[in-house]
Amino acid sequence: SSGGAANDGAAGGGSDKITIGFSQVGAESGWRTANTKSVQDAAKKAGVTLKFSDAQQKQENQIKAIRSFIQQKVDIIAFSPVVESGWDTVLKEAKAAKIPVILTDRAVDSQDESLYVSFLGSDFVEEGKRAADWLVKEYQGKADPVNIVQLEGTTGSAPANDRKSGFADVIKGDPKFKVLASQTGDFTRAKGKEVMQAFLKSQPKIDVLYAHNDDMALGAIQAIEEAGKQPGKDIKIISIDGVKDAFTAMSQGKINVVVECNPLLGDQLMELAKKVKKGESVERRIKTEEGVFTQDQAAAALPSRQY
């Protein structure tokens, strides 16, 4: 950044130029769109060449993209794994080609820690716990059963697995909380709406919807309104992410609480990549800092939301 590359002391000849191959999950949600923009903007700002590939929520596409990055001899491979399992083979290929891998946003369940240098992203278990903490408080001192339906994220993905288990861990302490139905809505509005319609048909009494992301919650709101019920009142809604549309819905009383998940990982990723390229040691796990927002805070927070 100083422009003094020739005097840097590190290996010369333009070695401070970095090419990153980035394999993105897809464009399934508002969160994801913000994440993509953050990575692309940050690359530009940092003078990093970014080879961007959209996997359209398919693991096979991500594996293909990673193999193509290896062939192109990029300096760093970064990717947000659509699901947790099944990465060892391709990550071993990257390792054999001596290309460091950075995980962004989502984790892999590989036992071999040498297959990636760092994992930058949120703590999804914590997010699930925060969602449940709100629920426990909301129904404190009440004995009646609380009927919950859950819209899960993409099956096999880290955020779906972890948000489900974090939530379950907290509510299991009180038997009045009952998860009556739980199904994937694949993190999209369309599927969130579709699955909520099915829940409304099959479940005579729903008190709470726990959606693993805002897009599914926003789709579900449509289904609830079309069924003649009031989202946020007849059915309380807990959501995760904190995109602007969710804050708008919350300020209208349609979502009760949003657990924040920060998609703006671009700058941190570029910084990490530069360190890795220079051979500096980096932290293996970098967690993003996030909050929880309730209805009374929604209107005030809305104008300053950055995604």
Cβ proximity to ligand AHR, 207 vs 215, nearer residue = 215
Q: Does 106 bind ligand AHR (CB under 6 A)?
A: yes
Secondary structure of 187-244 as H, E, C letters: CCHHHHHHHHHHHHHHCCCCCEEEECCHHHHHHHHHHHHHCCCCECCCEEEEEEECCH
Cβ proximity to ligand AHR, 108 vs 146, nearer residue = 108
Interface stretch with ligand AHR, choices 28-36, 89-97, 220-228, 287-295 (CB under 6 A): 28-36
195-234 residues near ligand AHR, rule: CB under 6 A: 213, 215
Amino acid identity of 131?
Answer: A
Pick one of 241, 242, 277, 293: the residue that binds ligand AHR (CB under 6 A): 241
Q: Does 128 bind ligand AHR (CB under 6 A)?
A: no
Q: Does 184 bind ligand AHR (CB under 6 A)?
A: no
Pick one of 23, 29, 161, 256: the residue that binds ligand AHR (CB under 6 A): 29
Pick one of 34, 221, 261, 273: the residue that binds ligand AHR (CB under 6 A): 261
CB-count exposure of residue 74 (10 Å: 0-12, 13-18, 19+): buried
Q: Does 187 bind ligand AHR (CB under 6 A)?
A: yes
Interface stretch with ligand AHR, choices 29-37, 108-116, 221-229, 290-298 (CB under 6 A): 29-37
Amino acid identity of 300?
Answer: A
